[in-house]
Structure 1
Amino acid sequence: MKNKFLQGLVASFALTVSGIANAGLIIPEGIQTSINESTVKNTWGWTECFSGNSRSWHMASSALSSCDGDLLMMATRLTGSDTFSILAAASFDIVTMNTSLLQNAASTNIENGVSWYSNASSWGFADIGTLINQTSADVNWTIGKKGLSWHTNPNNNGSGVMTHFGLGYGYSIGNGFIPSHIEGEYESVLLTASSTNVSTSIPEPSTLAIFLISLMGFAYRNLIKKA
């Protein structure tokens, strides 16, 4: 009888955790590194809307036309890999909003714990408050800094806004710069999602701990009564 009660308790907890995991869209806060593709798509609820070789130029309007949600994620991965090397997400308007060509972090837009920039020279994101060399793709990669940066506009056409992106430049997950157009074949990836699907019921780990402790207390009390 005790075993059946404990089995039921474990099953109830498993169903609760399962419900939490599938509660809705998850928007990752800040810059994330080494994230499995299935986690982003199946657990977090994002849809890949563009991927292209990082050694090629891609027309921005064409790539973004399939990203129809109001949220946008930028990511990169080795071709054939099922793991994103680095990614970050925010509202579509912030990720694509034109920024000035000043060589400092003040020329970025900040949202969801990330600095975003997009202009006629570069498109990408970095840690908040870090120096960004924005007159080209970001090349100011100090140890500890995380970010992703793609060149924009062949020959820098001077229009002030992004028309194309690609042809590197690279990323950093905190341990130094990795040039995506040199170190193997990388893909530039965009993913889309809708904020109407965002879950508001995903608890913090501390809440889960409290819930588990409460269940254990309840189980212990019932076992004592039946002893």
Structure 2
Amino acid sequence: MKNKFLKGLVASFALAFVGIANAGLIIGAVDIDASSPEVSVDYSSLDAIIDQSGLSNSYISGVTDFSSFVGATTASYDFSDPEELGGVLGLGSIYFDLGDIFNVDSIAIWGQNGTATLTSYALYASDTFGSSGTRTLIGNFLASSGPNAVSHNFISVNTQYLEIDVLANQGYSSTRVNEIAFGGNHISVPEPSTLAIFALGLMGLASRKIKKQA
């Protein structure tokens, strides 16, 4: 009985030390770059791909549920507002910085509702923001035009940096995207002071429990 209690105590402390994982949350990139960004009168900066412009709903990164948001959110592109769309020249690459290391297991892409949209891509995890990093292929996926997001799940990876290589874009000289977001979780480790207080409380509880059993 005493051993079972102590094992449970150790397991509880281990879980507290690792932290609490918020599974299935939408994660927005904090920075974006591309191998050859397309910037023109109609198709604006890359920031439009990660700034939630043109979406019917808004999310809070690391808080909003990924599946619920993606399923309920559509995108539209207004040619009078070029800030809603971004892109890359040809079959280029787009780089994402999530701002911290996340356990990423899904992606959602709202494509341009028209021609020259992203239709096929390779997704990589990288150890660096930009083209100079060491990449690990996550998988090849299909996307499409239209107001609804196309989302994919994949084997989770721990990374801060992601890269999309465009494989097909309907044969145009540019690839245009309305919005891209990722899904997964962020494991937050408690502050050392919090861990110390928690450990002292557990030790006191264990001491009282053992005295009662003696």
Same fold (TM over 0.5): no
Higher helix share: 1
Higher strand share: 2
TM-score (norm: length of structure 2): 0.31
* Structure having greater relative contact order (Cα 8 Å, sep ≥ 6): 2
